[in-house]
């Protein structure tokens, strides 16, 4: 039989189900689920593109209970509401012609408490896994053991209802099922522990309930597989003969396949290290007639057809392919065509390969990535000493470059005694060296440090390429030319750059700060839009007309009607523009001044800014759009009545002239320029600001110098809820999620959901000039931002309202009365005291209770340069200045006297993309 016949002929399982070939995609965790374990659309696509010529896909393990998830981003089957998402995966796989099996598991003592909201994991016994930092689990009671078996049964039912062709019971990887069988983790003295037979009861019970559910809800064609790890290293621990003993018992009850869990299909014993015989050989030699009836699947290290054939020579009936199926979505097809494959991926092809970002960062996958983006790079070799700064430290970093790669990164000066710092430095160093590019994701929890290290490497690369170019006689001072220069790398600038690039223009982004993202990165609530697809999905009835009216009312009727019309009209397509670029804002909340849920934010309820900027940066990198950091645009060059270029000053003080036909000014507002704020609004002297340091209004001056008009300069918004010691903005989504404001006396004093200007005015009118934003555990759980505030130490929490009031030095009788009264309003959905009509979501009664002390801070400058509805900058006579475009907070007029929460993000995407379009059109002319 030739190779293709061996691999690609059909195969019939013991239950009579025919598989079109013997090839399976192995179940591999992608860490791509939503925070609650539901399925993301990225995951559906990941599986869809891998289905087709491979016979069967085993979808990654799904936790059957919310205490059972063993890694971040795990997907779950613990509730009926997970069925529709899982059904999408099954449908996608079936649509391409493969079968779909779902693996189900419970992590037991392998679960990290951090993944289950700080709760203690469960296990057969209160014995921690033998690894550093492992939590000691709580031993399940007999009743709870029965309960978990029941949950496995429910999971099987859900898999059937989601349309899967089968389930694979995950009895391997030291998860709960294996924990019950192991004499190491199971030290129980009841019927579930002790003897080998007792320890086998749990895996057998899980198989029994699986059969029961299949009989009840499916038919004979439904496939039941079981995955096992053959040995454990621990003493005592599972040995190979124990495994055979259990497998014989499982086989006797009926199974359609067994899945041998090994890193390499032909691996020998890890316990008897003197014996080189592959375990599969021993398995085939020792198994009974009954066990031999069950097809056995091998996995580990299969990349080419020859690997699969060798595995089959040793006795495997079925072959599961892991990493090769990640690197080659059409793996089976390639093998069928006789290709010889190498296990690596081009660093620039993540999107093309449909690999979700978390999986791309998974160590086993990351190890397959080869950097191709620097293929053409040439450096002058040497050690480059770079001085950079993170949030807290001056760092000196030595970057060693060879002719074509980054060879080393060393911390020469910095807080090298700080373990946390050194650990994250090591992580970002490894990440950059492995990918051999500074364009890697920052380390979670060490963003500023990671950005500093990335910057040091980028600077060294630029210096060294320049040095090499100079040696090769290239004139670096010759004028550069691009179609479009974008000034500022906030949301408006990035959106404009992407759009202009996508319409064929060459684009340069110039950013004066050391990092990308501007003030947008701090945006919290979300992006407003009416009549969107995501609102329709959620059954939210909205209208553009109402959105217009409410924005106008919120802006005190001062908004420029034409700009506001354009804004409202283009908002839904801006939401779609983001979605098609992988930035999904499909969770919806509300902000002050809006009567309807129309504030779109990431599905997990997290703050919009970081998510938006990282998504936009991903798109910028994918398109290789150049970004010059630490570089200011100091002048817009203007000749013969039109823009001809820009003058830049780099961090090193070098002046560069770039010729261009179009400049898009997206430099943000001027909240961080207190002189300018006070010039227009003397009453705001001494106010803190929520903005980043770069919000200094320089773009307004740049444009004024070429004649631009300005409007509404005195319209400056103060945000009511700013933590004063850190200037940290407490998102409106907390109030939108159900929080209230109380004064130092413990009383509510205003409608919390009124517009920002009105709420701010009321806080300033209080004798103490501050207030507390108060919420309970229910609100916290639904708003990721709240966790960020807790982590930053901004929140005072207590187990009861009384304790909270006492900690805040408040009269607790008054505070309790306030809560009781407010909760009554929630119940009847009517606020008798202050007329709050929105976000009367749930009573504040679930401990712990939280409070943040807040007062207003300067937040947004509504005034700015004048533009028309096509983003062309207008001069004082309201005539177009050819070649000058502006978008985002630098522009005045759209928001009138008060910007509604959620309208700034909408503004930057709507007008940013319009500006990109206009600038690209000009380039074409
Ligand atoms: P928006 O929300 O309108 O996009 P952001 O505040 O998010 O505005 O972004 C504006 C960006 O422009 C900031 O990162 C700021 O540092 C940058 N910027 C401001 N002035 C200049 C300038 N003269 N040259 C280059 N970048 C600038």
Secondary structure in 3-state letters for 610-657:
HHHHHHHHHHHHHCCCEEECCCEEEEEEEECCEEEEEEEECCCCCEEE
Please give the pLDDT value at position 742. 98
User: 609 CA to middle of ligand 1, Å?
Assistant: 14
605 Cβ below 6 A of ligand 1: no
Helices (H) and strands (E) in the chain, counts: 30, 39
Does residue 509 sit in the same domain as residue 590?
Answer: yes
Q: What is the CATH number of the domain that holds 635?
A: 3.50.50.60
Give one DSSP letter per residue of 419-435, joined into a string: HHHHHHHHHHHHHHHHH
For residues 639 and 595, membership in a common domain is answered with yes
CB 199 within 8 A of CB 181: yes
Last residue of a domain, one of 836, 858, 880: 858
Name the DSSP class of 461.
H
Helix (H), strand (E) at residue 138: strand 138-139
Domain interval for residue 818: 716-858
Dist. CA 919–CA 500, nearest whole Å: 7
Q: Report the C-alpha gap between 149 and 299 in whole angstroms.
A: 27
Determine whether the shortest distance from the Cβ of 755 to ligand 1 is under 6 A: no
Instruction: Name the residue at shortest CA distance from atom 24 of ligand 1.
Output: 632
Q: Which CATH number do you get for residue 820? A: 3.90.700.10
CA distances from 311 to 266, 281, 458 (A): 7, 10, 46
Query: Ligand 1: which atom is nearest the Cα of residue 488?
Result: 12
The reply to whether 353 and 399 lie within a common domain is: no
Q: Report how far ligand 1's centroid is from the alpha carbon of 628 (Å).
A: 13
Pairing of strands 880-886, 662-665: parallel
Atom of ligand 1 nearest to the CA of 694: 16
Q: What is the CATH number of the domain that holds 65?
A: 3.20.20.70
Whether 422 is in a domain gets the answer: yes
- Whether 641 is covered by a domain: the verdict is yes
Clarify whether residues 338 and 300 are in a common domain. yes
Tell me whether residue 365 is in a domain: no
pLDDT at 370: 65
Ligand 1 proximity of 488 Cβ (cutoff 6 Å): yes
Shared domain for 536 and 559, answered yes or no, is yes
Ligand 1 center to 578 CA (angstroms): 20
**Cβ of 647: how many Cβ atoms within 10 Å?**
14
Structural domains in the chain (count): 4
Question: How open is the CA angle 78-81-86, to the nearest 5 degrees?
Answer: 80
Question: Rounded to a whole number, what is the distance in angstroms from the first to the last CA of the chain?
Answer: 64
Ligand 1 in reach of 668 Cβ (< 6 A): yes
Residue 367 falls within a domain, yes or no? no
Task: Name the phi and psi angles at 819, rounded to 5.
Answer: -65, -45
Using alpha carbons, select from 524, 409, 402, 491 the residue that is nearest to residue 455. 409
Place of tokens 């939590």: 135
Q: Are residues 405 and 496 in the same domain?
A: no
Residues of the chain predicted below pLDDT 70? 347-348, 370-377, 475-478
Contact yes or no for 321/331 (Cβ under 8 A) = yes
**What's the gap between Cα 582 and its chain centre?**
11
Domain boundary among 858, 880, 908: 858
Q: Is the CB of 491 under 6 A from ligand 1?
A: yes
Calculate how far, in angstroms, residue 314's C-alpha sits from the geometric centre of ligand 1: 63
Q: Is 676 in the pocket of ligand 1 (CB under 6 A)?
A: no
pLDDT of residue 262: 87
144 and 244 fall within a common domain: yes
- Catalytic site positions: 756
Residue with tokens 């299949």: 214
Q: Give a yes or no: residue 93 inside a domain.
A: yes
Phi, psi of 210 (to 5 degrees): -65, -50
Calculate how far, in angstroms, residue 449's C-alpha sits from the geometric centre of ligand 1.
22
Q: State the residue for tokens 């098609």.
A: 580
- Are 401 and 407 in contact, with CB atoms under 8 Å apart? yes
H/E element, 801: helix 801-807
Q: Are residues 686 and 826 in the same domain?
A: no
Does residue 373 belong to any structural domain of this protein?
A: no
Same domain, 624 and 587: yes
The token duo for 621 is 């990198």
Exposed / middle / buried, residue 150 (Cβ in 10 Å: 0-12, 13-18, 19+) = middle
How far, in Å, CA of 729 to CA of 854, rounded? 9
Residue 478, pLDDT score: 64
Is 557 in the same domain as 508? yes
Asked whether residue 372 is domain-assigned, the answer is no
* Together in a domain, 873 and 730: no
Residue 311 located in a structural domain: yes
Residue by residue, DSSP assigns 195-218 as: SHHHHHHHHHHHHHHHHHHHHHHS
Which residue's CA is the closest to the ligand 1 atom numbered 20? 667
Residue 606: predicted pLDDT: 75
698 lines ligand 1 (CB under 6 A): yes
* Predicted TM-score (pTM) of this structure: 0.59
Question: Got the DSSP string for 824-843?
Answer: HHHHHT--TTT---S---S-
Domain end (from 835, 858, 881): 858
Residue 22 has which token pair? 């013997």
- Same domain, yes or no: 685 and 733: no
pLDDT in tens, 217-270: 999 999 999 999 999 988 899 999 999 999 999 999 999 999 999 888 899 998
CATH code at 420? 3.90.1010.20
- Ligand 1 atom closest to the Cα of residue 633 is 24
Q: Nearest 5°: CA angle at 483, between 479 and 487?
A: 85
Write phi, then psi, for 47 (nearest 5 degrees).
Answer: -75, -40
Ligand 1 center to 910 CA (angstroms): 17
């Amino acid at each position: 039989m030739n190779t293709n016949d061996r691999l690609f002929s059909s195969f019939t399982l013991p239950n009579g189900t025919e598989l079109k070939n013997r090839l399976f995609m192995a179940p591999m965790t992608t860490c791509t689920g939503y925070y609650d374990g539901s399925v993301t659309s990225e995951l559906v696509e990941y599986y869809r593109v891998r289905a087709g010529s491979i016979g069967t896909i085993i979808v990654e393990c799904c936790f059957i209970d919310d205490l059972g998830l063993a890694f971040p981003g795990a997907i779950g089957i613990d509730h009926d509401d997970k069925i529709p998402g899982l059904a999408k995966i099954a449908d996608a796989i079936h649509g391409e012609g493969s079968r779909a099996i779902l693996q189900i598991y419970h992590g037991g003592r392998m679960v990290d408490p951090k993944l289950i909201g700080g709760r203690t994991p469960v296990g057969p016994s209160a014995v921690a896994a033998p690894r550093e930092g492992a939590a000691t689990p709580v031993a399940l009671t007999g009743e709870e053991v029965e309960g978990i078996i029941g949950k496995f049964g429910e999971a099987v039912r859900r898999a059937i209802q989601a349309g899967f062709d089968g389930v694979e019971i995950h009895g391997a990887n030291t998860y709960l099922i294996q924990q019950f069988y192991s004499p190491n983790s199971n030290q129980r003295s009841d019927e579930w522990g002790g003897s080998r037979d007792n320890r086998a009861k749990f895996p057998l019970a899980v198989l029994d309930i699986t059969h029961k559910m299949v009989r009840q809800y499916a038919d004979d064609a439904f496939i039941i597989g079981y995955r096992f790890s053959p040995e454990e290293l621990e003493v005592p621990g599972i040995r190979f003969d124990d495994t055979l003993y259990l497998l014989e018992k499982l086989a006797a009850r009926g199974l359609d396949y067994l899945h041998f869990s090994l890193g390499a299909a032909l691996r020998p014993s890890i316990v008897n290290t003197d014996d080189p015989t592959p375990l599969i050989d021993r398995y085939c030699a020792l198994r009974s007639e009954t066990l031999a009836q069950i097809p056995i699947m091998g996995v580990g290290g299969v990349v080419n057809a020859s690997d699969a054939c060798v595995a089959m020579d040793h006795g495997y009936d079925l072959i599961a392919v892991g990493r090769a199926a990640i690197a080659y979505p059409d793996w089976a097809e390639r093998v069928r065509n006789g290709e010889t494959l190498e296990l690596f991926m081009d660093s620039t092809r993540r999107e093309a390969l449909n690999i979700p970002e978390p999986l791309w960062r998974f160590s086993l996958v990351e190890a397959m990535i080869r950097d191709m983006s620097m293929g053409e790079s040439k450096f002058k070799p040497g050690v480059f000493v770079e001085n950079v700064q993170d949030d807290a430290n001056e760092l000196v970093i030595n970057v060693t470059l060879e002719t074509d790669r980054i060879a080393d990164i060393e911390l020469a000066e910095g807080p090298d005694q700080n373990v946390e710092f050194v650990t994250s430095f090591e992580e970002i160093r490894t990440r950059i060296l492995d990918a051999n590019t500074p364009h890697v994701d920052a380390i979670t929890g060490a963003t500023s440090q990671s950005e500093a290290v990335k910057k040091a490497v980028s600077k060294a690369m630029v210096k060294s390429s320049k040095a090499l170019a100079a040696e090769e006689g290239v004139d670096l001072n010759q004028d550069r030319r691009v179609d479009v220069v974008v000034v500022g790398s906030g949301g408006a600038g990035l959106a404009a750059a992407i759009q202009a690039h996508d319409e064929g223009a060459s684009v340069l982004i110039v950013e004066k700060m050391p990092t990308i993202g501007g003030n947008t990165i701090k945006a919290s609530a979300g992006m407003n839009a009416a009549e969107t697809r995501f609102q329709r999905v959620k059954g939210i009835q909205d209208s553009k007309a109402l959105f217009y009216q409410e924005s106008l009312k919120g802006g005190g009727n001062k908004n420029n009607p034409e700009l506001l019309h354009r804004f409202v009209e283009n908002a839904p397509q801006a939401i779609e523009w983001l979605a098609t670029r992988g930035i999904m804002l499909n969770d919806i909340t509300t902000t002050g001044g809006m009567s309807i849920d129309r504030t779109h934010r990431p599905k997990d309820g997290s703050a919009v800014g970081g998510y938006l900027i990282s998504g936009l940066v991903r798109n910028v990198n994918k398109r290789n759009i150049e970004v010059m950091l630490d570089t200011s645009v100091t002048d817009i060059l203007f000749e013969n009545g039109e823009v001809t270029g820009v003058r830049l000053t780099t961090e090193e003080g070098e002046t560069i002239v770039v010729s261009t036909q179009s400049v898009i000014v997206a430099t943000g507002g001027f909240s961080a320029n207190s002189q300018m704020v006070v010039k227009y609004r003397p009453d705001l002297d001494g106010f803190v600001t929520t903005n980043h340091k770069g919000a200094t209004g320089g773009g307004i001056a740049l444009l004024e110098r070429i004649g631009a008009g300005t409007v509404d300069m005195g319209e400056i918004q103060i945000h009511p809820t700013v933590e004063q010691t850190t200037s940290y903005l407490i998102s409106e989504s907390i109030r939108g999620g159900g929080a209230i404001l109380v004064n130092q006396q413990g009383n509510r004093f205003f409608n919390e959901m009124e517009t920002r200007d009105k709420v701010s005015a009321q806080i300033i009118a209080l004798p103490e000039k501050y207030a507390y934003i108060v919420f309970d555990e229910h609100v916290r759980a639904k708003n990721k931002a709240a966790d960020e505030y807790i982590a930053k130490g901004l929140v005072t929490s207590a187990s009861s309202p009384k304790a909270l009031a006492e900690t805040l030095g408040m009269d607790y009788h008054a505070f309790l009365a306030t809560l009781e009264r407010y909760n009554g309003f929630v119940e009847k959905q009517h606020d008798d005291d202050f007329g709050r009509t929105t976000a009367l979501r749930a009573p504040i009664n679930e401990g712990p209770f939280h409070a943040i002390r807040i007062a207003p801070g300067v937040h947004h400058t509504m005034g700015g340069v004048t533009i028309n509805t096509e983003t062309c900058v207008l001069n004082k006579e309201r005539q177009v200045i050819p070649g000058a475009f502006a978008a985002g907070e630098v522009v005045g007029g759209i928001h009138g006297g008060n910007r509604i929460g959620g309208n700034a993000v909408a503004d930057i995407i709507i007008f940013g993309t319009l500006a990109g379009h206009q600038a690209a059109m000009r380039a074409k002319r």
